[in-house]
Amino acid sequence: NSKLRHVEKDVLIPQIMRDRAKERCSDKVQAFTKCCQETGFLMVVKCREENTALKDCLVGYYSDPSFYEECKAEYLKQREEYRATGIKKNRQKFTSNV
């Protein structure tokens, strides 16, 4: 059964998308994090370029229908495994130093 509930479409799959997009944009995440650490309170002004690059990278993935389908397929696979075994698999989460 591949029907999706509201919470799956609006919360669970987007969470996978955010995690995977951050992984794929990790170079931009690191550049923005480094800039923020080096500039402190002036990061709003000094890190605009890094922030824009990061946002552009993330939004590119969020708006890509094939990326959504890839993440949806991953979610459905995890859901199927859970229903078969009753064991919830912990997803690897991308962690940022921000």
| pTM of the predicted protein model | 0.77
Structure tokens at 9: 């479409």
Cβ atoms of 29 and 22 within 8 Å: the answer is yes
Cβ atoms of 29 and 96 within 8 Å: the answer is yes
Angle at 73 (CA atoms; ends 21, 64), nearest 5 degrees: 40
pLDDT at 88: 76
3 state DSSP class of 83: helix
Checking if the pLDDT of 2 tops 80, the result is no
pLDDT at 83: 87
